[in-house]
Each structure stands twice: as C-alpha cells, then as structure tokens.
Amino acid sequence: EAQVTQNPRYLITVTGKKLTVTCSQNMNHEYMSWYRQDPGLGLRQIYYSMNVEVTDKGDVPEGYKVSRKEKRNFPLILESPSPNQTSLYFCASSSDRVALGEKLFFGSGTQLSVL
C-alpha cells in the first residue's frame, strides 16, 4: 500500500531536549516536505527536498533541520525545541511532477507538545 509513515504519532517533550520526527515514503517519490499546522493559520511549509541531498527552506524554517540521505526518508530535527514549536506536524511527498500539479501524499501527522 502506497503511504507516507510518520513516527511518533504523539510526542511530549521539554524545552531544549533534541528530538527527531521520522518520515518515510514507499512510492519512490523525489519530492518530500514538512508542514506545521496551527489553528487559524492552516499549514505552513517548514522545509522541502527535491531529491537526495537537495533540501531548501520553506516559509517557517527557524528552529528546524532536515536531512535527505536516502530517497525514502526525510526526518525533521528539532535541536533545541521551544514551546512555540508545539504544533501538529505533517510530512508529505510527491513525484517530481510537482510543477504540473501532481498531488501531495500526506502522513497521518505528529502532535508535538513542548513543555
């Protein structure tokens, strides 16, 4: 089954404790991206990757890091989480025809709470 898998589904942590949210897709997609969803703001793009070793900033990259060492995986790293990073996070992937309107496939989300 084609899917985007995120882990964990829920995460509670404390300020400053490094964490990683994993994302994996089994569709051989070149494009992957991370979003955060906050009430009243919709989804905002954090980082995206067009292929292995190719990443770029979205609209809200501060406080986040990503890496793309393998095509299927795109982890989101919070080196020193802060309470304003409490949010619902989504990973998404797509084929390289993003420019022509191919759809994004979303994971089920990770609810992060930073205390």
Partner 1 sequence: GDSVTQMEGPVTLSEEAFLTINCTYTATGYPSLFWYVQYPGEGLQLLLKATKADDKGSNKGFEATYRKETTSFHLEKGSVQVSDSAVYFCALSPNFNKFYFGSGTKLNVKP
Give the chain as a 3 state SS string.
CCCEEEECCEEEECCCCCEEEEEEECCCCCEEEEEEEECCCEEEEEEEEEECCEEEECCCCCCCEECCCCCCECCEEECCCCHHHCEEEEEEEECCCHHHCCCCEECCCEEEEEC
Specify the residue, 9 or 17, whose C-beta has the smaller distance to partner 1.
9
Q: Tell me whether residue 17 or residue 57 sits nearer to partner 1 (CB atom).
A: 57
Closest distance to partner 1 from the beta carbon of 79 (Å): 24
C-beta of 44 vs 72, nearer to partner 1: 44
Beta carbon nearer to partner 1, 2 or 14: 2
Give me the least distance between CB of 14 and partner 1, in Å please: 26
Residues that bind partner 1 (CB under 8 A): 4, 31, 33, 35, 40-45, 48, 50, 56, 58-59, 90, 92, 98-101, 103-104, 106-109
Report in angstroms how near the CB of residue 70 gets to partner 1 at its nearest: 19
